Each structure stands twice: as C-alpha cells, then as structure tokens.
Chains A and B, each alone.
Chain A
Amino acid sequence: MTHPKRTGARLELKDVTKTYTGHGEDKHVLDHINCIVEPGEFLSIVGPSGVGKTTLLRLLTGLTPVTSGEILLDGKRVTSPPEDLAIVLQEYTRSLMPWLTVEKNIELPLKLKKIAKEERRERVQSAILEVGLEGNDSRYPWQLSGGMQQRVAIARALASRPRILVMDEPFASVDAQTRLDLEDLVLKVRDDFGITTLLVTHDMDEAVYLADRVLVLTGKPAHVAAEIAVPLGYPRDQVDTRAHPDFGRLRGEIYQLIRGKR
C-alpha cells in the first residue's frame, strides 16, 4: 500500500484570546495564546483539567470563533472548519454514526464531498488498512471495543486526506494497553503521511512520548506557561523512550509547571 506523501499544514496562533459572554458574568478562558506549529510537527497541548484546552481546540478547528487575535492555517485565517483539517474527539461513542457500518462511517464525508465511487472505495480501504481495522468493514461501531471505535474515527479523519490532524483527548476513555497501541498508531500515521498533528491531553507522559514539542497551558485565564521541545528523536518505543533520562526530566519539568501555577 503506497501512501501519497503530503506536506503538513502550518498553523499559527496570534494573540488568540477567548472570552465567553452571556449567562451572567463574562468568562475569560484564553489569554493571548501565541504558538507556531511547523508543517509535519507533532505538538501536544497539556494543562490541568478545566484550563481551556478543549476551548483552544475548538478555536483552532474553527468550531468556535475567537474573541480576538487570529488563527492562520497556511496563512489563511480560520473562521470555519478548514478543508485540510480533520478532528478526532474523545467521545468515540458519540462521534461515530451508530446507524452506519465501519465502512460507511469512513465513507460518509467523502460521499458528501461528491468524491467518485472508485476513489472513495480506495480511500476507505487504505484508511482501514492504515489503522488496522481489516475484516471489520461491515460491522457497526457499537459492535467494536472502544479502542477499535477510536481507530474508526482516526480512519475517517485520514480518509479525508487532511494536512493537519487535531485530536482532543483521543485515548482518555480506552484501557491502558489499547492506549499504548493507539499512541503508536498515531505516530505511525504521522510518519506515513507527514501531516501536522495536534494532541490535546491531560496526560503528561502521553504528551511527552508523542510530541516534538509540548505546549503547557496554565492559569485562569489560561496562557502559555512554556513551550518545551522534546529532543527524544523518532521512532519512539514504549519501553525505551519512557526509560530515557530525558523523558523523566521533561515529564518532571511539565509536572512542576502545572503543579506550581495551579
């Protein structure tokens, strides 16, 4: 199976600020967030729960408008969900269509984009192979385990040939073993396609294990506490990488940042 190599998209956050108004008092969630994600880079976004990670994700996927500042994807301002972006959400049971089979779930976005049947089938099959879902084409999502369902969501995202993949706590609701498998799957996907990847997580180990760089958000309203480069190199290994002295050091550093400013 050959994968058409694509270049990832470049994402730029400029002074991104978000304030929710209405419902009583205004809620200032994000304060002047600045960050550049280079094409093909893997960026993890961590922070204590409730800090505004999901809000940031909603802003940069165009699902929610920014209050001020701007988000640029390849230099183009994001005001609605961009064509080249695909998302994978935590709640796989709610993000897949339970009335469609695995194959039809992956196919639906392509079908609605009026992509020809031949190409659709090819894309769906290659996405199924990529995430290791062979033989499950005609099963329904609810017949699969959580990990498998999340693979379907990843395959659906990949089939639309995104240049940037954004994931919100994608492995938070699966068991530990499955989680490790899915982490490695995401690394493989990034490697195969060269797409820019953003991962929102509250798990510091996961953030470090996967990323080129970790963005740490803290405070109320949230701001960037630090951008930490992860010089661990690729490919990564669940045993060796996690045993590396740098891994422990980075993890500790992030832990301090999050704990210290809580």
Chain B
Amino acid sequence: MLALLRRFLISSWLVVALLLFWWKVSANSENYFWPPLGQIASQFKANWLFTNVVDDVIPSLKNLAIGYFIGAPCALVVGAHLGLSEIAQRIFSPLVNFFRSIPGVALVPIFIMLFGIGDESRRVSIAVAVFFPTLIATIEAVRTSDAVLLDVSRSFKFSSFQSLWRVRVPSGAPMISSGLQVSLQVGFIVMIVSEMLGAFRGLGAFTVEAQQSFMIIDMWTGIIMLGILGYIFNVIFELIEKRALRWYRGQKGLTT
C-alpha cells in the first residue's frame, strides 16, 4: 500500500508542480490568448462535466474505435501473411513504404472527397492510418521468429496456418503490441485532425471552432480534454499489454 502511494507520488509530483506553476503564473494574466488557468478550469467543468460529452466526445471515440478495430486487425492478418513470404514482402514493400511515409492526416482530405464529410470518411481515414504501424510491426515480428521454435513446430507437424497463429504471432506479440500502440496514437491524431477539417461535432471540431470564434478559454478546455483522453488511452493500452504480455516481462526478468 505504501509502495503504491510512493509510486503514485513519484509519477505525479511533476505534473502537480507544473499545474501549480501554470496556475500561479497565469493567475493575473491579461493576455487574451493565455487566460488564467482558474478560468479554464471552471469553463472545463462547465463544458465537459458532463454536458458535451455525449455530443462531442462519444462520437469522436466511436469513430476512433470503429477505425481502429477495422484497421488494426486487418493489418495483423495481412502483416502475418506478408511476414511469411519473402517474395510477397519484396512485391509489396515499395507500396507499403510509400504509403507509410504519408502522414495519416494528409490522407484525410482525399477520404473526405471520396466519402463526403460524414463519419464514414473519418472512420476510413483512421482505419487507413492505423493500418500501417501495426502492419510493419507484424511483418517484422513474423519474419524474425526463432528458428528453433519453428523447427519444433515442424517436428510436431503443425500446419503452416497453425505455426503462423500458434507460434509466430504469439512469439512476436511484444513487437506487434508496440505496433498496435503506435497505431492507437496515430489513430487518435487522425481522429482529431479529421474533425478539424469540416466536421460539425466532435472534440477536434469543438476545439477548432472555439479557436476560430476567438473563444480562447473554450479552446483551451478542448486541448486539455484531448490531452487527458490521449493519456487515458495510453494508460489503458499499457494496462492491457502488461497483462497480456506478462510472460514476456517475466522471461526478460523485468519487474515494472
């Protein structure tokens, strides 16, 4: 219990100190663009606890969830199979490398042209952006499976499908998981940017609209909300990962 408290204190004191610093420095601010943190906080409470959550936050998160859970599993399946075949890798690697170099947010306008400014274009943008980090991590994970483990699989006469999903993918799970995490972060960014470009609701739309209407305090609350959400997502992801990859941490002798 004491150790838990200690850990909490170690990881939170800096945040608290910075918030206090911001509070203090901005307290008597007259600058229109840097309002006092106290004002932002009370506006935050009015905006987000919990009035606009249903209108602006839930739709955003729904788009992210749909895009992510389409893009990432597709990347896993495609990546796993590409990782198996050297020829397929050679054929597809120029394409993959071309598309992965394009920032996901740059694709948003194209999908808006194709699918209109509705949620579909945002979900597709997120799915496409999410696809590449997981794809690349999965290809690499499957490609670099341990030769001894594969010999064992062959000696037990596993089919190639079985050895892919029962041996290669699980043994590459730590690497795949890093890809999934990057995908989540990229998906989050595309979620926001896609809403900044011509959406009527959603967190990104709210923030950019506030900015364009010079409602600077509202803008700040949107930015803070985005930060908090992104942070929560990462924490949730790492909790799940920590559980799912307990074997990996144990094997490596990691304690945290």
Contact = CB atoms under 8 A, between A and B. Distances in A.
Interface of A: 61-63, 80-81, 83, 85-87, 89, 91, 94-95, 97-100, 108-109, 112-113, 140, 142-143, 160
B92 to A, nearest CB: 26
B154 A63 contact: yes
Contacts of A95: 148-149, 151-152
Contact of B157 (A81, A97, A99, A142): A81
Please indicate which of the listed interface residues B146, B151, B251 has the most CB atoms of chain A within 10 Å of its own CB.
Answer: B151
A81 B159 CA distance: 12
9 contacts: A63-B154, A80-B154, A91-B148, A94-B148, A95-B152, A99-B170, A112-B162, A142-B250, A142-B251
B13 interface: no
Contacts of B149: 94-95, 97
B213 interface: no
A89 to B, nearest CB: 6
B166 A112 contact: yes
Contact of A142 (B151, B155, B159, B247): B247
Given A98-B248, A109-B156, 8 more contacts: A63-B155, A81-B157, A94-B148, A95-B151, A99-B170, A112-B159, A112-B162, A142-B250
Interface of B: 146, 148-149, 151-152, 154-159, 162, 166-167, 170-171, 173, 247-248, 250-251
A243 B227 CA distance: 75
Given A63-B155, A112-B162, A89 B148 contact: yes
B234 to A, nearest CB: 23
Contact of B152 (A62, A83, A87): A87
B246 to A, nearest CB: 9
A140 B154 CA distance: 22
Given A98-B248, A99-B171, A63 B151 contact: yes
A245 B157 CA distance: 44
A94 B146 CA distance: 7
A109 B155 CA distance: 10
Please indicate which of the listed interface residues A86, A87, A97, A143 has the most CB atoms of chain B within 10 Å of its own CB.
Answer: A97
A99 B155 contact: no
A179 to B, nearest CB: 20
Contacts of A112: 156, 158-159, 162, 166
Given A94-B146, A95-B148, A99-B173, A86 B248 contact: no
Nearest to B247: A99
A143 B250 contact: yes
Nearest to A82: B157
Given A89-B148, A142-B247, A142-B250, A97 B155 contact: no
A95 B170 CA distance: 14
A81 B155 contact: yes
A98 B155 contact: no
Given A63-B155, A87-B155, A98 B148 contact: no
A95 B146 CA distance: 9
Contact of A99 (B151, B158, B248): B248
Contacts of B158: 109, 112
Contact of A83 (B157, B159, B170): B157
B173 to A, nearest CB: 7
Contact of B154 (A81, A97, A108): A81
